[in-house]
Amino acid sequence: MPPSLTSLSHGAGCGCKIGAADLDPVLASLPRSHSPDLLVGTETADDAGVFRVSEDLAIVQSVDFFTPIVDDPYLFGRIAATNALSDIYAMGARPVTALNVVAFSLGELGADVLEQILAGGHQAVADAGAVVVGGHSIDDPEPKYGLAVTGVAHPDEIMTNAGGRPGDVLVLSKPLGVGAASTATKRGLATDSVMERAAAVMVELNREAAEGARRARASALTDVTGFGLLGHLHELTAASGVAAEVEAMAVPAIPGALELLSGPEPAVSGGTRRNRAHAETFARFADDVPEERRWLVCDAMTSGGLVAAVPEGLEGRARGTVIGRLVEGRPGQITVSGGPGGRGRGRGVVAEEAGRAGG
């Protein structure tokens, strides 16, 4: 009997990412690429690179892979692939091809497990209307899986994280709490239903959320993964030259996640702890924000939703929950308030197009 997948991983899903505070100085030291056709590079920490190949065609490229967040091989493959595809949707593009990225020990786990992982990834890619065209694998005692994805879009229709404007409303398309659910499951503290709800969030493609953002004429767009809501919103606001206000009580949570983040021993992953430590450098929490809500907005998500900045009055066209707005202020700074909901559930406005996971 092969060991469980999560028993072989040092960190679950996107929680295994190198923290932004440690990674940013390294990336800042590297030389910049220059080309008149490079529409989006590394300068704004966007979700994917964009290169113009003709007047009416740009290619959008990203790669994302991570360690197991669930034990079911097929589900792990599907989650990892969905997460990788999200970067393409976050740029307003359509995924067309994908390459498998595999680190795996055939001797430890067997070919059947690898086959199921790849089958799950293939299903997610097919659901997105794209095709798997190959891949690369290495022998590794700690399994890892993901995709290098190429998407396409018209150069004038690319959506980035750098166009946000003061007054824009922030809409989040999926609830948070995957990091808490996976950490509690690994510790044996969560019920199966909590992780099942988290898995349902993770396998949902962000295609409809991206379409909703376009309908709402989003000025800026990004996805929420390993750096947590505050970390990715910080990148968006810094790139856009604005600040943000977030109403903590309006931020949607996977049912059961807030309970896991409460109490003297909350189910907080290492990635979430790194996110919160980093957030303390750019975010200010109001005194009335409960501790579990502070952890939630820093939760190291895997295959999370999109957060879109849309003009006020058009949020009903987007998919998700209104959680705050962009404001004038020091670029990258975020204020997190408790909101009129006090310590209750909050009053987050659910956009008309919101689906099961968004509301």
Catalytic residues, by residue number, are 14
By residue count, the chain amounts to: 359
Query: 153: which strand partners?
Result: 58
Could you give the CA distance from residue 83 to residue 71 in angstroms, rounded to a whole number? Answer: 17
Query: 337: which strand partners?
Result: 247
Instruction: Tell which residue, 249, 260, 256, has the closest CA to residue 323.
Output: 249
Spell out the SS3 assignment of 25-51: HHHHCCCCCCCCCEEECCCCCCCCEEE
Token duo for residue 282 = 């750019």
What does DSSP say about strands 334-337 and 243-247: parallel, antiparallel, or unpaired?
A: parallel
Token duo for residue 235 = 């990148």
Contact 242, 165 (CB under 8 A): yes
